[in-house]
Amino acid sequence: MRKIPIDSAESGMVLARDVTNPSGAVLFPQGAELDERMISRLKGLQVDFIFVEGHSEPRISKELYLKKVEQALSKAEMNTVMQTIRDTLLKHIEAIYE
């Protein structure tokens, strides 16, 4: 799932979440395929962003991400709790870049 600004929406994209108004009423349901008319209506309703199906691209490279994590953790005392946190974080990073 990706969160995108409404200005980046394109025909054919599929909503990954319901689009609701401020009171919670569903404007467009999850699974709806966007077309130009729907996008125009969402803009008219001042919807700022939507969630669409698909994966977002990581903002930084995996190598840089791992380097930043190692730098941040190098300042911490590596006891068993911190080691578990480090291992969990590294597994999560690996999963992001699969």
Q: How far apart are CA 50 and CA 7, in angstroms?
A: 10
What is the pLDDT at residue 34?
97
Output the CA torsion sign for 98, 58, 26, 23.
positive
Does residue 57 lie within any of the structural domains? no
Q: Are residues 66 and 40 in the same domain?
A: no
Instruction: Give the gyration radius of the chain's Cα atoms.
Output: 19
Note down the domain range covering 70. Answer: 62-96
- CATH number of the domain enclosing 47: 3.90.105.10
Instruction: Note the pTM of the prediction, 2 decimals.
Output: 0.59
Q: Are residues 15 and 39 in the same domain?
A: yes
Q: Which of 10-14, 57-61, 80-84 has the lowest mean pLDDT?
A: 57-61
Does residue 13 lie within any of the structural domains? yes
Q: Are residues 6 and 38 in the same domain?
A: yes
Q: Are residues 47 and 72 in the same domain?
A: no
What is the pLDDT at residue 76?
84
> Are 26 and 59 a contacting pair, CB within 8 Å?
no
In the chain, the number of structural domains is 2
